[in-house]
Chains A and B, each alone.
Chain A
Amino acid sequence: MISVTIKKGYDLNIEGKPSSDSEDLPKPEYVAVLPEKIPFIIPRLSAEKGDKVKIGSVLFEDKRHPEVKFLSPGGGEITDMEFGPRRIVKAIVIRLDETESFETFDSISESGLEKIGREELLQILLGRGVWQFIRELPFRDIARHDKIPPAIFVTSDDGEPFQPDPAVYLKGKKELFEFGIRILSKLAKTVHVVGAVRRPATTEELDGLITHTCKGPYPAGDAGVMIYHTKTASSENRSWYICAQDVLTIAQSLKSGVYSVERVMVLAGSASIERKHIRTRAGVPLEHLVRGRVKTGDVRYVVGGIFRGYTAPKESYMGFYETSLTLLPESREPQPFGFLSPGFTKPTYFRTFLSALSRSDLAMDCNLHGDVRACINCGSCAQVCPVDILPQFAFKCVLADEVEEFLEQGLLDCAECGLCTYLCPSKIEVCKILRDAKAKYYKEQG
């Protein structure tokens, strides 16, 4: 077992952690797929409003790679197709039937897997709508199946606040997970299973399967961070990664022969009343997860994590990859002479507030806590960057459009963790600038 220790990074002392209890939710009335929230894809619809679909029917494919199919997470009628500006497909909403029907595929047994070749396995994964769980670094797009990657990283927890505890969704599923790992082993030279030191229960659950352990603050355990700290040559940059829960989904789909829609999600954040794990299905409405367990007042719904997630209206649905819903209070009223307060309850990375004396959890809201100013080169971002980028210099290279220079600065190693933006005292969207530059470079490369 290789252990990696990451010194840079930062753990938020934020209030609102979920308990490890889990709750089974009844069936929702609607489910949806949100093509808009799947990075980089260009959807080409193969169903339309009013169509009857089964669980596992093809809803759309990726125009760039038509073999990548996106399947329906529910059986029923497509009641709505929401389009955004420039006909971008925002949501495909399905009203579930009382008893849903399934598309059935051949089930693959443990022994059956041995007889399948790599090419055939690829076709199976693509056809069953589970291929897209595997993503490729450094751009985090869906993996290109025509390449053999140097490695696949199976990640479980990177310390981002309020993600599902791997021990909850892996409990009692070691065999299934092992099956999933065997599937992945057929695709790549090696499969690395990353366990986080901060989650000892996962290590117990996956006894013997973990190949790497990662110690350190957020985002230790992220695939991009792991690869940065373990790689020995440039050829490893294009490794693939997948989340441990999605390994279970792949394994379940192949083993049972039906498209698996079970998910374990988390409802957390200081604006939610009951914070816990929830066993439900893919694409559920946010309201269905929350079920009124929300404090009154202006609340922000964050899907997918405080650092990397996105804000969604409460009428929205969970995305394809996201398994976490965090409810945060919106920013409060302006504070008189806010910059003079001693700040016992103001969480900070720095030592300019008295809250720095303790690491107890504090409530955080969505306030920017300041105004955008010019960069004063304080260098705080470089102190926390887990992949040793110098964000204060790199983002200026990006703004000056110096492509060669920002590549040299290591832009593509960026784990998109958002810590630089989190603590910038000038409130510059450093991470967004770097992330957008990465995406632009990727699109230009084709």
Chain B
Amino acid sequence: MKIIKNMFDSRRKHFVKGGKLERLYPIFEATETFFFFPAHGTQTGPHVRDNLDLKRFMSFVILALMPPFLFGIYNTGYQCHLASALSTDFISVFLRGIYIVLPLVIVSYGVGFFWEFVFAVVRKHPISEGFLVTGLLFPLTLPPTLPLWQAAVGISFGVVIGKEIFGGTGRNILNPALTGRAFIFFAYPVRMSGEVWTVISGKAVDTFSGATPLALAGLTAASDTVETFLAKSGLTFSKLFLGNYPGTVAGTSSLLCLIGAVILITVGIASCRIIIGGVLGMLVTGFALNLLATQASMPYLSLNPFYHLVMGGFAFGITYMATDPVSAPGMDTAKWIYGFAIGALTVLVRVFNPAYPEGVMLAILFMNIFAPLLDHFEIRLRLKRRIVNVG
């Protein structure tokens, strides 16, 4: 540790004011604070400060992302080997998963950090830890088969247009990871439509087509129910809940997202109001649509609402995307409404607009835009209760 510390200390002079690499100070600072907790003292009262900082805050989100991430690696390899009729023993499947998923993650972090560095240097602000989360969230919401260059374009759009042009972390309106995903969803619909999950896994197998549950649900014939139609394709409720079916990298397993949600709520990083509100919104809307369903209507209308919870990326979205504090509302009641609306909109998009099978992404982005408005109304109501104090 001493060696690393000395290394930083001896190179610091180049990066501080007057040094020849002065402009690259944010990069130096970000690297140094990764290794060492800075020893800055407080300048004004309060003279002591809480131990939590943004790095720790974001590390916990990453920690909570680990269960779906690791499962996602396994599942990707498993689905690939299954399709190529290769051995499905754990080690080889996991290695295959790493082989497919890791390049996506590396591209996402690499390209994303490049933009972060560029903006930090030009705009002279420190590099925020927020990107550690964005950079991991983004690849986890992609189909594993997405070409890497598309992932690079997507994360660039997410970071630059979704975040940096608003002024960087803390000032963005939309969730940057979802903005990037939405971009490739609309720009390259063939790869992202959710209808075909294509594996191009080197020499093992050329292509593999397998419909995701959401796409299947939209294809259900009028005479059938969605549940039985899914079951015919081998997608029972428990399988959907556990997540070992083709889908996005980490969005398939509701169980592991639930574990992530429990971690985040326990340590107090994610708002339980948003998550519970989202689940409620989804169930209530699902039941309401059940009431509307008749013999002649779309079979999707009569789908058991609990299926909505486990299908597609809802669990992942509501746990990790909707709870992003920057793009979510800050007030308590607004959080309930925000979560509820995300759940409700997800169902509505799924049921009434099968062209966009993944409703949760659009629902969250839509509610991101409304978050400041929800906050505004709640703050107005709250301020009315105050006794005016103008001195």
Contact = CB atoms under 8 A, between A and B. Distances in A.
Interface of A: 12, 14, 138-139, 231-234, 237-238, 300, 302, 305-311, 326, 328, 330-340, 343, 346-353, 355, 364-379, 382, 388, 390, 392-393, 407-410, 412-413, 418-419, 421-427, 429, 431-432, 441-442, 445
B83 to A, nearest CB: 38
Interface string B265-294: 011110000000000000000000000000
B54 interface: yes
A376 B44 contact: no
Contacts of B326: 376-377
Interface of B: 1, 4-5, 29, 33, 35-57, 59-60, 125-126, 128-130, 168-171, 266-269, 325-326, 328, 330-331, 375, 379, 382-383, 386-391
A374 B51 contact: no
Contact of B52 (A14, A306, A425): A425
Contacts of B266: 351
A355 B38 CA distance: 20
A138 B391 CA distance: 6
Contacts of A413: 386, 389
A311 B43 CA distance: 9
Interface SS of chain B: helix, strand, loop or mixed?
A: loop
22 contacts: A14-B48, A238-B391, A305-B45, A311-B47, A331-B39, A334-B36, A335-B37, A336-B5, A336-B36, A348-B50, A352-B269, A364-B48, A366-B41, A367-B49, A370-B49, A370-B53, A376-B54, A377-B326, A378-B325, A410-B389, A412-B391, A421-B49
Given A237-B387, A423-B52, 5 more contacts: A334-B38, A367-B49, A368-B49, A410-B386, A427-B53
Given A333-B39, A377-B330, A432-B44, A231 B51 contact: no
Contact of A393 (B29, B56, B126, B330): B330
A425 B50 contact: yes
B6 to A, nearest CB: 12
A388 B38 CA distance: 32
Given A352-B60, A368-B38, A306 B389 contact: no
A425 B54 contact: yes
B48 A377 contact: no
B310 to A, nearest CB: 28
Contact of A352 (B38, B57, B125, B389): B57
B56 A339 contact: yes
Given A234-B387, A237-B389, A369 B49 contact: yes
A352 B268 contact: yes
B3 to A, nearest CB: 11
A374 to B, nearest CB: 3
A445 B4 CA distance: 54
A352 B56 contact: yes
Contacts of A426: 53-54, 170
A407 B125 CA distance: 30
A96 to B, nearest CB: 31
A150 to B, nearest CB: 13
A334 B4 CA distance: 12
Given A339-B59, A379-B330, A373 B169 contact: yes
A371 B33 contact: yes
Given A348-B50, A349-B50, A374-B171, A231 B268 contact: no
Contacts of A352: 52, 56-57, 60, 267-269
B389 A332 contact: no
Contacts of A138: 389, 391
B47 A309 contact: yes
B57 A425 contact: yes
Given A349-B52, A374-B128, A328 B47 contact: yes
